[in-house]
Structure 1
């Protein structure tokens, strides 16, 4: 399996697990942004760089195969652990927690304002 096929498989996995859209691996990696940990983003950047170097016969020899294999393995392993349902559930719970906190702050401010004006 060549690098293009592996990158395409990772791009499909990113689409399935993270819900990312885009044309190709590089676009999806860019869209992922902070959804991926820093080390995984670094590995992804290494893969994108290797894809760019692969197009040139002389430059393709500059790619460190061991490091590239390690990056592909790390990214694949991380993406397989991501659960789309858990990610959606966590996002919804975080949104609800923020909403509840905002409502508590507003209620506290209203009570403080009423007390300050002597209505309570």
Structure 2
């Protein structure tokens, strides 16, 4: 497995699926932040560290290729199955729910105040 080719593919997927811009995989992974689950951020950090170690001739041979392949596969699987519309829909539902809850609280407080003042 060529670590640099694999991280370039993951960087491309980060840009396509999550709309994250940046110079390379490391920058895009950092900008992704909480858009990725914690275990995938950890896997991404492993890949970034492996990219650094792969530049060194002796340390590059000591990398755990199986573990790095699993990490890259997990990130790729998540990004290929990521649904941006579903995420946006979830955000819209969450915002509208909080607004509606606040409106209902204000109406209830208004009714309680009207009852207390004897207007109703």
TM-score (norm 1): 0.88
Give how far 1:10 is off. 0.7
Give how far 1:77 is off. 0.7
Partner of 2:60: 60
Runs of 4+ in 1 over 4 A off after TM superposition: none
Partner of 1:117: 117
CA distance in 2, matches of 1:51, 1:117: 70
Partner of 1:47: 47
Give how far 1:118 is off. 2.5
CA distance in 2, matches of 1:115, 1:57: 80
Partner of 2:98: 98
Quote the RMSD (CA, aligned, Å).
Answer: 1.6
Task: Identify unmatched segments of 5+ residues in structure 2.
Answer: none
Give the alignment of 1:33-44 within 5 angstroms. Answer: 33-44=33-44
CA distance in 2, matches of 1:18, 1:75: 12
